[in-house]
Chains A and B, each alone.
Chain A
Amino acid sequence: MRRSLVCLSLMVSLYVCLAATTAIADETCNSPYISNLIKGQEGFVHVWTLGVEGLGDGSDKLVTIDADPSSKTYGKVINSLSVGGRGEAHHMGFTDDRKYLWAGGLEDSKIYVFDVGTDPAKPRLIRTITDLPAKTTYVGPHTFYALPGRMLIGNLSNSIDKGGVTGLALYNNKGTLIAHYAMPTTTLGGVKGDGYGYDVAVNPAKNVLLTSSFAGYQNYMRNLGHLIKDSEAMKHFGATMVVWNLKSMQPSQVLSVPGAPLEIRWSLVPGQNWAITAAALTSKLWLIKPSEGGMWSAKEVGTIGDPTKIPLPVDISITADGRGLWVNTFMDGTTHYFDISDPEHPKEAYTKHTGSQVNMISQSWDGKRIYITSSLLANWDKTGADNQQFLRVFNWDGHELTQAFELDFLKEKLGRPHHMKFTARTYGSQSLAALAR
Chain B
Amino acid sequence: MILSAPVRAAVDVVPAVAPRMDFTPLPAGTYSLPTIQTVGDAVLLDEHAQPVHLRTVTAGKITLLTFFYTYCVDPLGCPFVRDTLTMLRDRILADPPMAANVRFVGITCDPLNDTPQVLSEYGASFASGGPFEWRFLTAKNVPALLPVLEDLGQDVSVDIDARGHPTRALHHMLKVFLIDPKGRVREIYSLAFIQPEVILNDIRTLHLESSARKKGGIPRDRYASQADALKR
Interface residues of chain A, those whose CB is within 8 Å of chain B, are 10-26, 32-33, 35-43, 68, 95-97, 99, 117, 136-137, 147-150, 158, 160, 165, 167, 170, 172-174, 176, 178-182, 185, 204-208, 245, 247-248, 250, 270-271, 273, 424-433, 435-436
Contacts and interface: CB of A to CB of B under 8 A. Distances in A.
Nearest to A171: B36
Given A137-B227, A204-B19, A429-B158, A17 B14 contact: no
Contacts of A16: 13, 16, 74, 77, 171-174
B23 interface: yes
Contact of A17 (B142, B150, B171, B223): B171
A99 B155 CA distance: 9
A147 B188 CA distance: 9
Interface in B58-105: 68-69, 72-78
Given A137-B227, A428-B5, A179 B34 contact: yes
Interface string B188-229: 111111010010000000000000000000000001011101
A95 B150 CA distance: 14
Nearest to A425: B10
B118 interface: no
A8 to B, nearest CB: 11
A182 B146 contact: no
Contacts of B190: 13-15, 33, 96, 148
Mostly, the B contact residues are loop
A149 B73 contact: no
B25 A38 contact: no
B140 to A, nearest CB: 13
Contacts of B12: 21, 23, 25, 36-39
B142 A436 contact: yes
Contacts of B15: 12, 20-24
Contact of A19 (B8, B74, B231): B74
Given A17-B170, A178-B223, A207-B198, 20 more contacts: A13-B191, A16-B74, A17-B74, A23-B13, A38-B10, A38-B11, A148-B175, A149-B36, A160-B231, A178-B36, A179-B34, A179-B223, A180-B226, A182-B229, A205-B23, A247-B25, A428-B3, A429-B171, A431-B156, A432-B156
Contacts of B68: 17
A436 B158 CA distance: 11
A42 B12 CA distance: 11
B117 interface: no
Mostly, the A contact residues are loop
A167 B191 CA distance: 27
Contact of B192 (A33, A42, A273): A33
B26 A247 contact: yes
Contacts, number: 255
Nearest to B172: A17
24 contacts: A10-B192, A12-B15, A14-B14, A15-B77, A15-B174, A16-B171, A17-B77, A17-B174, A18-B171, A23-B12, A23-B13, A24-B14, A99-B155, A147-B188, A149-B152, A160-B230, A180-B225, A180-B226, A205-B23, A206-B22, A245-B31, A427-B6, A428-B8, A436-B146
B51 interface: no
Contacts of A424: 10-11
Contacts of A247: 25-26, 31, 198
Between A14, A43, A117, the greatest number of chain B beta carbons within 10 A of the residue's beta carbon is seen for: A14
Interface in B18-51: 19-23, 25-26, 30-32, 34-37
B124 interface: no
Nearest to B11: A424
B151 to A, nearest CB: 9
Between B9, B10, B109, the greatest number of chain A beta carbons within 10 A of the residue's beta carbon is seen for: B10
Contacts of B155: 35, 97, 99, 117, 431
Contacts of A433: 146, 149-150
A149 B22 CA distance: 23
Task: List 5 A-B pairs, minimum CB-CB distance, nearest first.
Answer: A17-B77, A205-B20, A248-B31, A23-B12, A428-B7
B2 A430 contact: yes
A137 B230 contact: yes
Interface in B156-195: 156-160, 166, 169-175, 177, 185, 188-193, 195
Nearest to A10: B192
B188 A15 contact: no
A432 B142 contact: yes
Nearest to B177: A149
A15 B173 contact: yes
B158 A430 contact: yes
Contacts of B21: 205
